[in-house]
């Protein structure tokens, strides 16, 4: 039996966080919200706010343990479905089963374990990385498969000091299986390639789709249509 076929069992939870930006307001401006839900079988759902918070719009990324994942646009009853490569799925499952020591799983910026800490009552490993004139600090919960419960990015100033740019703050963490609604994809959700889904989604928003997003969507289409996803 391959790793991709083997079932797993992990600690289920629902986590909520908010992101603040400090570049235009030193007191911090709330710009983003997310909710991450994980079932005991390892399936994940990430709900991310899109655009201004007062719009009340969001997208969902739902990932199942068979390697299938979908970006779900509930606003337009659409979805784009992808599939992980076997090596990617194996890596995800291995991290859930056997989290790396001190949650050092990303090599970008030469990450270093700094200290132990607690976030919302959970022991976390605090990781620090420095890259391109910026310092990133990440709080990862060992008992939750190194799920990130907090992060912070700071600019390195000419005098060696640090200026806070953005920060995600934890709001709540509930242990236990999430509501099934996090993972349900409506039967009427139409399968669409990324560019079509993005275009229709933006038509429902107060602002048009920008050129950078259009270009990204076209690049994603190539991968999607090639069947390499």
User: Cα–Cα distances in Å, from 114 out to 137, 140, 141?
Assistant: 9, 12, 14
The alpha-carbon radius of gyration of the chain (Å, integer) is 19
Beta strands in 160-205 (DSSP E): 162-175, 190-191
Question: What are the boundaries of each domain within the chain?
Answer: 13-191
Per-residue pLDDT reduced to its tens digit, 44-74 = 999 999 999 999 999 999 999 999 999 999 9
Q: Considering only CA atoms, which of 9, 28, 10, 35 is closest in space to residue 149?
A: 35
Give ∠ CA 117-179-121 in degrees, rounded to 5: 15
CATH tag for 13-191 (out of 2.60.120, 2.50.20, 3.40.50, 3.90.1170): 2.50.20
Per-residue pLDDT reduced to its tens digit, 156-172 = 999 989 999 999 999 99
pTM, full prediction: 0.89
For residue 38, count other CB atoms closer than 10 A to its CB. Answer: 25
Question: What confidence category does residue 228 fall into, taking pLDDT thresholds of 50, 70 and 90?
Answer: low
């Amino acid at each position: 039996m391959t790793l991709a076929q083997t079932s797993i069992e992990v600690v289920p939870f629902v986590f909520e966080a908010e992101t603040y930006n400090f570049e235009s307001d030193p007191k911090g401006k709330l710009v983003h919200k997310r909710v991450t839900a994980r079932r005991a079988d390892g399936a994940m759902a990430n709900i991310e706010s899109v655009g201004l918070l007062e719009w009340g719009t969001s997208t969902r990324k739902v990932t199942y343990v068979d390697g299938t994942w979908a970006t779900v646009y509930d606003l337009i009853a659409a979805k784009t479905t992808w599939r992980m490569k076997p090596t990617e799925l194996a890596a995800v499952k291995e991290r859930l089963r056997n989290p790396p020591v001190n949650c050092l799983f990303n090599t970008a910026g030469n990450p270093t374990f700094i200290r132990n800490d607690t976030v919302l009552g959970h022991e976390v490993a605090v990781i620090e990385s420095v890259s391109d004139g910026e310092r990133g600090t990440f709080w990862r919960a060992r008992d939750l498969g190194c799920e990130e419960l907090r992060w912070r990015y700071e600019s390195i100033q000419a005098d060696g000091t640090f200026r806070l740019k953005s920060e995600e703050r934890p709001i709540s963490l509930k242990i236990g299986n999430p509501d099934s609604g996090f993972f349900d994809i409506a039967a009427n959700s139409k399968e669409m390639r990324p560019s079509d889904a993005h275009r229709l989604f933006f038509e429902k928003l107060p602002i048009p789709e920008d050129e950078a997003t259009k270009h990204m969507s076209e690049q994603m289409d190539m991968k999607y249509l090639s069947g390499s996803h």
